[in-house]
Amino acid sequence: MAAKFILQVLTANRLGDGEAVWWSADRRWSETLAGSEIAHDADAAAALEAIGKAAHAANLVVDVNLIDVELADGVIVPLRLREKIRAAGPTIRPDLGKQARPAAARAA
């Protein structure tokens, strides 16, 4: 049996301000991890990778990466701490970064 595919999402930093962004299910770069397009298999991951390459070539984003995630009660959670911190902000400054933004603004 093939090994279980680890879910992946596409992330990058926006060119102009460096803000961490994720490729969302509604096909745009979003400032939040929630709502990201999830690759459930290798083909979908390859498709995401192609989107990342194109966005990099179009100078929209930099440092494009596919990252491993899991779903916990429907919420996307990155496997690595590094990506958890990128998605929230510095753990030592809860007043800064995405974690400090009102949920409404975050969902927008």
Q: Which residues bind other proteins (CB under 8 A)?
A: 13, 15-20, 56-59, 62-63, 79-82, 85-86, 89-93, 96-97
Task: Closer to other proteins by CB, 28 or 93: give it.
Answer: 93
Task: Closer to other proteins by CB, 47 or 99: give it.
Answer: 99
Q: What angle do CA 61, 107, 56 make, to 5 degrees?
A: 10
3-class DSSP state of 49: helix
User: What is the rounded CA–CA span in Å between residue 83 and residue 86?
Assistant: 5
User: What is the rounded CA–CA span in Å between residue 36 and residue 22?
Assistant: 6
Task: Closer to other proteins by CB, 1 or 93: give it.
Answer: 93
CB of 39 to other proteins, least distance (A): 19
Task: Closer to other proteins by CB, 41 or 68: give it.
Answer: 68
Q: Which of 39, 34, 59, 40 is nearest to 49 (CA)?
A: 39
User: What is the rounded CA–CA span in Å between residue 4 and residue 21?
Assistant: 27
CB of 15 to other proteins, least distance (A): 7
CB of 43 to other proteins, least distance (A): 26
